[in-house]
Structure 1
């Protein structure tokens, strides 16, 4: 069997990128990709709701939830107090009772306040229950480096969460990734952590039909 050379692989990769761009329906920012995907999933399934700090009236710290309050109302787009431990516990409890919460953090640095719920409740319960209790929840928000917000707001938590049995961890780069991953995360019957890069929210990428 022949081995593909590095140059052949590079050519194949370039060709794939050209095809993806050629058949792209539109250019879309990562922010709008996330927003449109959540909108579609909330329309598809009435069990899906979003909660977090400033996700409703303010439309999200990075405007990812823009327009969802007006469309779905305050029962499904829920502003919470500034207590990550509290609203994460509410979200996990809702997931245990058959709903599909999207738990948004202003930044994943603040999710450290709620790590007990994420790890000891959401991630472990499927194993501890012998596969009988699912926790269909999506934890999402900005992660990693940003500009001018100091060390407390710029950590990358990918390796942390990836080391936890029971959690699926995804990190979208472009708009196509963002739409696909958030939809898959919402529909998953077990917990998913979606780490979004703050510096990419306003970047545009092609999105296929």
Structure 2
């Protein structure tokens, strides 16, 4: 699914230069649930941005589904993000004036899917996250947990190869956080590949593999055996 070979990313110049990633290599199989951990400045967010095609490495190779993303133009990268990748963010990133259904169907509109099919698929995804009853409500009318479920439904609607979750429970209370993680685990059990950035050990424990980073390097990569 994902292979990176010796990728590096440098920000700034001279004395202000920061090596955000230094010769990182890893491989992620289809249907893995991976947590990427590390303190602020460890490189975990930079790695996720590159894997999610939001940024590009200065050197090294990144293969997504066997295809190199090197030298791909911005328009093609945008198509990859829309068609192969689903994003879940800490702050939900829902459009406040749109209903839950319209927020979920938005990626399909960008893919020029017809209105009837887009609405049908949006409802299908809302049902998957248990929120069909909130289809016509706007984000301000919903709790944080409900908004994150809407964001998950939106991430799923284009049937992506992989979901990237960036601190998906960061704005939620403990009880709601574990409800969201239970939902992500269920999606993983159904075959979804998930790559998650988190700094919380109890949240990372839901994953089947934990990659720890420090100063732009992978310092640990372990498989978690579930009891």
TM-score grouping bracket, smaller chain normalisation: 0.3 to 0.5
Structure showing the higher strand proportion among its residues:
2
Structure showing the higher helix proportion among its residues:
1
Higher relative contact order (CA 8 A, sep 6+): 2
